[in-house]
Amino acid sequence: MAIFARLNRPRGTHNRLDRGAPVGRFEPMPIDPTEPYDEGNIFARILRGEIPCKKVYEDDHALAFHDINPLSPTHVLVIPKGAYVSWDDFSERGTNEEIAGFVRAVGKVARECGLVADGYRLLANVGLDSGQEVPHLHVHIFGGRPLGPMLAG
Ligand code: 5GP
């Protein structure tokens, strides 16, 4: 029988929830999108240039780069330049200019990756049930092969 752990941590320390991870086994834990923005998250560090990425596109509102663990021939992440935890946070607090700029950037990246003719999929995980792992809003762009059913299982 699995033993389940719950981390006892101060609010806002690492933006992650532990809901039933077996003790002694590392599994990525979904973040809590209601926590404050964590300036130390991996995409914040990529934005600050502290960690390298394979950049695809950049403008005033967005940065796009290849996912480190691609799930399709093209798997690009597009992130806003502002400090937003999730789509929920961005849609509530983002300015109209930031939101328009970001949405246009996602479309432009997909076009520039040559994905429009054959099609592509956008995905933005938000919080626990989605499995969001990085607490900075990101839209996944998947393409380059037929992508199968919309949801697994
Ligand atoms: P999520 O599950 O939060 O929607 O997706 C997070 C994504 O970020 C995953 O697909 C994961 O492979 C990707 N990722 C995590 N760390 C890094 C990193 O340091 N660099 C890049 N390029 N992608 C990362």
Q: In the chain, where are the structural domains located? A: 30-143
Query: Residue 153 has what pLDDT?
Result: 74
DSSP state of 128: G
- What percentage of the chain exceeds 90 in pLDDT? 76
Q: What is the mean pLDDT of the chain?
A: 87
CATH architecture of 30-143: 2-Layer Sandwich (3.30)
More confident position, 32 or 55: 55
Q: Where are the beta strands (DSSP E) in 41-149?
A: 55-58, 62-66, 74-80, 120-123, 139-143
Query: How far is it, in rounded angstroms, from Cα 33 to Cα 130?
Result: 11
65 CA from centroid of ligand 1 (Å): 10
99: CB partners within 8 A, 6+ apart: 90, 91
The preferred substitution site among 17, 41, 66, 67 for testing ligand 1, maximizing ligand atoms within 8 Å of CB, is 67
Tell me if 58 sits within 8 A of 101, measured CB to CB: no
Cβ neighbours around 135 below 10 Å, total: 28
84, amino acid identity: Y
- For 56-79, write each residue's pLDDT tens digit: 999 999 999 999 999 999 999 999
Query: Residue 29 has what pLDDT?
Result: 81
10 CA from centroid of ligand 1 (Å): 25
Cβ neighbours around 138 below 10 Å, total: 24
77 CA from centroid of ligand 1 (Å): 8
What's the pTM?
A: 0.86
Q: How confident is the model at residue 28 (pLDDT cuts 50, 70, 90)?
A: low
- For 113-144, write each residue's pLDDT tens digit: 999 999 999 999 999 999 999 999 999 999 99
DSSP state of 143: E
- For 77-104, write each residue's pLDDT tens digit: 999 999 999 999 999 999 999 999 999 9
Nearest one of 136, 146, 64 to 106, comparing CA atoms: 64
pLDDT at 17 over 70: no
Ligand 1 atom with minimal separation from the 132 CA: 3
